[in-house]
Amino acid sequence: MRKMIKHYPNGVPFQEQFTADHKSSFNTAPAHDNIIYGNRGMSLEQEINLSNKYYLESGIAVIHKKPIPIQIVDVCYPKRSAAVIKEAYFKQASTTDYNGVYRGHYIDFEAKETCNRSSFPLNNFHDHQIKHMKACEKQQGICFTIVKFVVRQEIYLMPSHLLFHYWDGREKGRKSIPYEQIKQESYLINYHINPRIPYLKGVDQLINKLKMP
């Protein structure tokens, strides 16, 4: 039997398991069940884009995903229609995926998903992304990573100092950040109706912590 899908006014399908009321049944589900938890119709990127749309339309923050950098080689201009790119290649991004402004602060972050349960692999990052975040922090920007443990269905706003600590020490052996460490030093972001991922609550806590002496 196909389940009927209800929709929010913004057209996003209503998914029971994402609402706060049903969250508990979720967290207690055993991990070895033969259920695929990830990608319930929406990727982390789509969820963040929707949240940013809400923040923008509500006048709360201006945060956008940057377009994918492309090297265009050949463009064709057909008569009476739009230009068509006929040959292009993906370029390595030199920065993170998201940036913007919130309450007078420059905001800069990456969003990453992992199917690992016990740690977050560092090979999700590139050296230039870490360099970029370090440079932004030097200019007093607020940098972090939104980490989604897909199997656990848990999303954390991980402060950059934790990432830098493990990244800078990765030559010594450890190639991932332990889940327990992330849980302890990051801000858990619970799914919400609108915005879907209210990650600016974590940013508020990060800002307050930075203000403290």
CB of 86 to a copy of itself, least distance (A): 7
For residues 11 and 15, give the distance between their C-alpha atoms in angstroms, rounded to a whole number.
12
Among 2-10, 32-40, 96-104, 194-202, the segment contacting a copy of itself (CB under 8 A): 96-104
- Applying the rule CB under 8 A, the residues between 140 and 199 that interact with a copy of itself are 140-141
The SS3 assignment for 174 reads: coil
Q: Which residues of 91-112 are buried (b: 16+ CB within 10 A; e: fewer)?
A: eebebbbbbbebeebebbbbbb
Beta-bridged to residue 102, according to DSSP, are 105
Instruction: Record the tokens describing residue 145, joined without a space.
Output: 């990573």
Nearer to a copy of itself, 28 or 139 (CB): 139
For residues 29 and 15, give the distance between their C-alpha atoms in angstroms, rounded to a whole number.
17
Q: Which of 5, 35, 83, 212 binds a copy of itself (CB under 8 A)?
A: 83
Known binder of ligand: residue 181? no
**Binding to a copy of itself by residue 77, rule CB under 8 A?**
no
CB of 67 to a copy of itself, least distance (A): 4
**Binding to a copy of itself by residue 78, rule CB under 8 A?**
no
CB of 142 to a copy of itself, least distance (A): 9
Element (H, E) at 106: strand 105-114
Q: Which of 19, 29, 43, 106 binds a copy of itself (CB under 8 A)?
A: 106
The 10 Å Cβ neighbour count of residue 193 is 14
**Binding to a copy of itself by residue 201, rule CB under 8 A?**
no
Known binder of ligand: residue 96? no
Known binder of ligand: residue 110? yes
Running DSSP on this structure, what letter comes out for residue 69? P
For residues 127 and 118, give the distance between their C-alpha atoms in angstroms, rounded to a whole number.
23
Q: How many residues line the site for a copy of itself (CB under 8 A)?
A: 40
| Cα pseudo-dihedral 16, 20, 23, 25, rounded to 10 | -80
Known binder of ligand: residue 97? yes
**Binding to a copy of itself by residue 208, rule CB under 8 A?**
no
Q: Which of 20, 25, 39, 69 binds a copy of itself (CB under 8 A)?
A: 69
The 10 Å Cβ neighbour count of residue 17 is 13
Which amino acid is it at 118? Answer: S
List binding-site positions for Mg(2+).
Answer: 95, 97, 110, 129
Q: Which residue ranges make up the site for a copy of itself (CB under 8 A)?
A: 56, 59, 61-62, 64, 66-70, 72, 82-91, 93-95, 99-106, 108, 132, 135-136, 138-141
